[in-house]
């Protein structure tokens, strides 16, 4: 693991933070290129991206704290330590969606069209962040004897399922599928709903290999959230008025 990329004096640069910044940068750059091609106002979309980034960071941190609440009750100051991970994608996605809906409605921007443009960069950014997880030694898998097992948990030499790599490869596959599906959706917003389904299916499966402590009955919290999200997105696609063309 390489949780610290380098140190300058007493200042350490953490790999997770660097890869998170790279992910946001790559996502915003890709979105703005697509917006330019579609004739959408780049300045407004850039402002939207900045707001979504802040909202996603807050939401992802809040949900992670709630999931791991006993640990943060024991050490309250750890709430402010995010240099080596500690973010929940579901929380960031929820806050990001709400912020995007509010912003596009306020500025009278085409919500469905923009949502579809956001989907591929979101998958790409997620893939990059998982490289940061591998370097940081977070989001690791269960101990395993499979030939490709790695000591992927910070300060723990136990060979484990490298779930960070599983996530990286899955996200790249989702990214490729979304690019292929860009011109095949029957209404604006469908591509983003499909992203939610693809992500939820991947997340539900990978949770069987991750070492997690939070459960909702016989499912992990990640599986429960993924199941709800996937069903909701699927129903939304199926109930959309049949024959409706892209507007």
pLDDT of residue 240: 74
Determine, yes or no, domain membership for 79. Answer: yes
Determine, yes or no, domain membership for 87. Answer: yes
For residues 55 and 93, give the distance between their C-alpha atoms in angstroms, rounded to a whole number. 9
Determine, yes or no, domain membership for 157. Answer: yes
- Alpha carbon 63 to chain centroid, angstroms: 13
Determine, yes or no, domain membership for 146. Answer: yes
Q: Domain residues for 209?
A: 4-239
Determine, yes or no, domain membership for 245. Answer: no
How many structural domains comprise the chain?
Answer: 1
Contact 24, 32 (CB under 8 A): no
pLDDT of residue 52: 96
pLDDT values of the chain reduced to their tens digit, one per residue, 247 residues: 788 888 888 888 889 989 999 999 999 999 999 999 999 999 999 999 999 999 999 999 898 888 877 777 777 777 776 665 578 899 999 999 999 999 999 999 999 999 999 999 999 999 999 999 999 999 999 999 999 999 999 889 999 999 999 999 999 999 999 999 998 988 999 999 999 999 999 999 999 999 987 787 889 999 999 999 999 999 999 887 554 445 4
For residues 174 and 205, give the distance between their C-alpha atoms in angstroms, rounded to a whole number. 14
Tokens 């690019």 appear where?
179
Phi-psi region of 217 (alpha: psi -120 to 50; beta: other; left: phi over 0): left
The model's pTM: 0.90
Determine, yes or no, domain membership for 246. Answer: no
Residue 243 CB-density burial (10 A; 0-12 exposed, 13-18 middle, 19+ buried): exposed
Determine, yes or no, domain membership for 247. Answer: no
Q: Per the structure block, which two tokens stand in for 242?
A: 């049949």
Determine, yes or no, domain membership for 244. Answer: no
Q: What is the DSSP string of 1-24?
A: --SEEEEETTEEEEHHHHHHHHHH
245 DSSP assignment = P
Question: Distances from the Cα of 115 to the Cαs of 112, 122, 133, 145, 182, in angstroms?
Answer: 5, 10, 26, 41, 12
């Amino acid at each position: 693991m390489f949780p610290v990329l380098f140190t300058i004096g007493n200042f350490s640069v953490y790999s997770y933070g660097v890869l998170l910044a790279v992910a946001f940068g790559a996502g915003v750059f890709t979105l703005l290129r697509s917006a330019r091609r579609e004739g959408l106002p780049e300045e407004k979309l850039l402002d939207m991206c900045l707001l979504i980034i802040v909202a996603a960071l807050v939401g992802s941190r809040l949900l992670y704290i709630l999931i791991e609440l006993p640990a943060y009750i024991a050490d309250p100051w750890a709430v402010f330590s995010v240099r080596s991970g500690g973010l929940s994608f579901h929380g960031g996605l929820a806050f990001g969606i709400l912020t995007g809906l509010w912003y596009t409605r306020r500025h009278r921007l085409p919500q469905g069209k923009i949502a579809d443009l956001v989907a591929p960069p979101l998958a790409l950014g997620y893939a990059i962040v998982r490289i940061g997880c591998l370097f940081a030694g977070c989001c690791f898998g269960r101990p395993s004897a499979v030939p490709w097992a790695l000591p992927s948990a910070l300060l723990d030499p136990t060979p484990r399922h490298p779930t960070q790599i599983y996530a990286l490869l899955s996200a790249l596959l989702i990214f490729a599928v979304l690019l292929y599906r860009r011109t095949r959706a029957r209404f604006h917003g469908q591509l983003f709903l499909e992203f939610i389904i693809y992500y939820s299916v991947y997340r539900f499966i990978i949770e069987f290999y991750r070492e997690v402590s939070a459960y909702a009955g016989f499912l992990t919290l990640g599986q429960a959230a993924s199941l709800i999200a996937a069903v909701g997105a699927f129903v939304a696609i199926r109930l959309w008025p049949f024959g409706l063309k892209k507007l």
